[in-house]
Structures are given as C-alpha cells and as structure tokens.
C-alpha cells in the first residue's frame, strides 16, 4: 500500500434473521396474524395448478400475506404439482433415489454420473424450478443406469455369499461323513478293514 493511501471499509448491510410481520398493514392491528392453510392455485408456465399452502391471515380484517419462507414453499408446491402432472422427476424423488443409491451428497452422485452437473442436481433438489424435458431424460437415464449397476452388484454379492455357504455347508457335511465313516468302520470293521488291521 502506498503511503498516504486510505483504507476504505465498505459498510456492510446489516444482515439479521428474517422477521415475519406481526402487525396488519391493512387495519393496523398488532400481533394480528395467524397461520392458516388455504386452497389456491400456483401459476407455472401458463398453467394453473391446484395447491394447498400456508399463509398469514389477519384475525381482525382477514387481510392475508405470505412470509418469505411461505413464498418459497408455495413455489415449491407449484413446481412439484407441475412435475407430477407432466411426469417429471420431483425434488423428493430425486433425493430419495440418490440416497437409495448410497450417495449421501449431491456431489457424490454428480461424481458417479459425470453427465449430471452438480448445479442441475442442486436446482432440482431445491425444488424451486422445473427442469427441461431433455435434462429430465438425461437424469432418469443416469439414475436408471446406476440403479441397474447397484442391482447387479447386489445379485453378485448374494451369489458369492450363497456359494460360500454352500461350500461351507458341503465341508461340514463332508467332515461329518468322514467322522461317521470312521466311527462306523471302527465299530463294524468290514472284512477288508479287519483283514488290514490284523
């Protein structure tokens, strides 16, 4: 830093936790809101999708509003309704299949399937946007391939285990047969064996 140069520190915008409004802007009542479930429609790509969502309703005048988290949830519900209607992968299904494949993180799945970009996976599992049909097909193909691979591995593992127990069982059986033969031979020596020991 040159002499005489000043260090300018930019003031940071205060970042507190989000606080939902408590006073009604319509009738000025304090602590006016209660959470209620409403049946309504979410608009997405020109389609009206029936959804049941939560919102804040004023106890005094009936004025309603959505808090920031409720807005996010309303979008998520509309996205999910659209995906179900159009037979696209939902956020929940993608997450469920990822975890069933044994991938704890989105990064792990993206590493296993290089055609699935981590950004795509993050967006889809966040459930705030509908994926393109091409992306959906690609993702389904990759998931199906990984699931088939997993199934083959499980079958192989099962067969190996079965083979081992069969071998193990056969060995036990063999040992028993040998002991029985020896015991039987000692008790009732056959003429050949009797001759051999005499």
- Which residues are near Zn ion by CB under 5 A? 24, 26-27, 58, 60-61, 63
Beta strand segments in the chain, E:
33-44, 47-58, 64-65
**Of the two residues 32 and 88, which places its CB atom closer to Zn ion in the complex?**
32
**Of the two residues 60 and 123, which places its CB atom closer to Zn ion in the complex?**
60
Report, in Å, the least distance between residue 66 CB and Zn ion: 15
**Of the two residues 26 and 185, which places its CB atom closer to Zn ion in the complex?**
26
Report, in Å, the least distance between residue 26 CB and Zn ion: 5
CB 43 within 8 A of CB 78: yes
Main-chain phi, psi angles of 113, to 5 degrees: -125, 90
Report, in Å, the least distance between residue 63 CB and Zn ion: 4
Report, in Å, the least distance between residue 59 CB and Zn ion: 8
- C-alpha separations of 63 from 35, 57, 146, 159 in Å: 12, 6, 50, 65
Report, in Å, the least distance between residue 53 CB and Zn ion: 20
Alpha carbons 69 and 52: distance in angstroms, whole number? 15
Cα(first)–Cα(last) distance of the chain, in Å? 109
Nearest Cα neighbor of 56 from 19, 10, 94 is 19
**Of the two residues 44 and 57, which places its CB atom closer to Zn ion in the complex?**
57
**Of the two residues 24 and 78, which places its CB atom closer to Zn ion in the complex?**
24
């Amino acid at each position: 830093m040159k002499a005489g140069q000043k260090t300018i520190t930019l003031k940071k915008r205060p970042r507190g936790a989000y606080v939902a409004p408590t006073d009604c802007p319509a009738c000025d009542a304090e602590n006016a809101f209660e959470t209620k479930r409403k049946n309504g429609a979410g608009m997405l790509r020109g389609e009206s999708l029936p959804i049941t969502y939560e919102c804040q309703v004023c106890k005094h005048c009936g004025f309603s509003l959505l808090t920031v988290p409720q807005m996010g949830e309303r979008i998520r519900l509309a996205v999910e309704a659209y995906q179900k209607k159009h037979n696209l992968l939902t956020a929940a299904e993608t997450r469920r299949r990822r975890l069933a494949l044994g991938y704890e993180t989105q990064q792990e799945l993206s590493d296993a399937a290089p055609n699935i970009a981590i950004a795509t996976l993050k967006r889809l599992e966040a459930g705030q946007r509908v994926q393109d049909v091409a992306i959906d097909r690609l993702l389904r193909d990759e998931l199906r391939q990984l699931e088939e691979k997993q199934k083959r591995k499980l079958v192989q593992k099962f067969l190996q285990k079965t083979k081992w127990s069969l071998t193990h069982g056969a060995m036990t059986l063999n040992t028993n047969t040998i002991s029985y033969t020896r015991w039987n031979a000692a008790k009732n020596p056959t003429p050949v064996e009797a001759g051999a020991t005499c």
